[in-house]
Amino acid sequence: MWDYGLRRRGPLANPGVDIAPHQDTARRWFTLHYGPVPRFRPDRWEFRIFGATALPGKQSFSLDALRALPNSRLAGDLHCVTKMTWPDNDWGGVLMSTLLDMAPPAADVTHLMVWAEYGYSANLRLEDVLDGRAILATHNHGKRLEPGHGFPLRLVVPHLYGYKGPKWVRGIEYMTSDRRGFWEERGFHNLGEVRLEQRYSYQEEPGEGPLP
């Protein structure tokens, strides 16, 4: 079990763990997203890996194929960039590193775009999803994800703010240079690292983020 818990205060405060700056703990978990909850259409659903792949040809997984991959758990808090934290989550699903082994990126891939229903997207550095840093979650605390929380599949990257973890994920694009995703294009930080409090794009060094 991996733990990227970052805590600030209250009974859950853990002195051995890093602090998440300027976050408040929410009392209960609710959903937060742009637009409506998409309806799951099993007949049309596929998960695509495309862009600069190491292996030629279309790489597509059914939900059953994804569920059949080795399952892992990942512990961590869910930090929304709007300063709300849902602490102590326990996610179950397939580690991104497991999927990357199955459908590897080309040698010159540096970034990913993670695509979700309705065209929501988030860009990530390749290193942000290696090893136990990111999981394609099907479960939370052992229970199947609720539709509002991303059923059937969502990405979770506990060391980054929540907008870097698309719900209702449908695919991954391997990229050889960086490009901004949905919120990254709309004023939020290109990297979104919680520990560094990278919330807004104006905090980026001049020239740091990719140009549109």
Ligand X SMILES: Nc1nc2c(c(=O)[nH]1)N[C@H]1C(S)=C(S)[C@@H](COP(=O)(O)O)O[C@H]1N2
Kindly list the residues in this chain that would bind ligand X in the complex (CB under 6 A). Answer: 31-34, 80, 116, 120, 149, 162-163, 165-168
Answer yes or no whether residue 80 interacts with Mo ion by CB under 5 A. yes
By C-beta, is 61 or 188 nearer to ligand X? 188
CB of 103 to ligand X, least distance (A): 21
Stretch that binds Mo ion, among 18-26, 73-81, 134-142, 177-185 (CB under 5 A): 73-81
How far apart CA 77 and CA 85 sit, in angstroms, is: 7
> Tell me, what DSSP letter sits at residue 203?
G
How far apart CA 200 and CA 79 sit, in angstroms, is: 14
> What is the bridge-based pairing of β-strands 84-95 and 135-140?
antiparallel
CB of 161 to ligand X, least distance (A): 7
CB of 160 to ligand X, least distance (A): 11
Tell me the C-alpha to C-alpha distance, in Å, between residue 61 and each of 31, 66, 67, 170.
Answer: 27, 6, 10, 10
How far apart CA 24 and CA 196 sit, in angstroms, is: 16
By C-beta, is 45 or 118 nearer to Mo ion? 118
116 and 167 Cβ atoms separated by less than 8 Å: yes
C-alpha 62 chain-centroid distance? 20
Answer yes or no whether residue 162 interacts with Mo ion by CB under 5 A. yes
By C-beta, is 67 or 83 nearer to Mo ion? 83
* The two structure tokens encoding residue 41: 């259409």
CB of 14 to Mo ion, least distance (A): 23
Q: Write out the residues near Mo ion by the rule CB under 5 A.
A: 80, 162
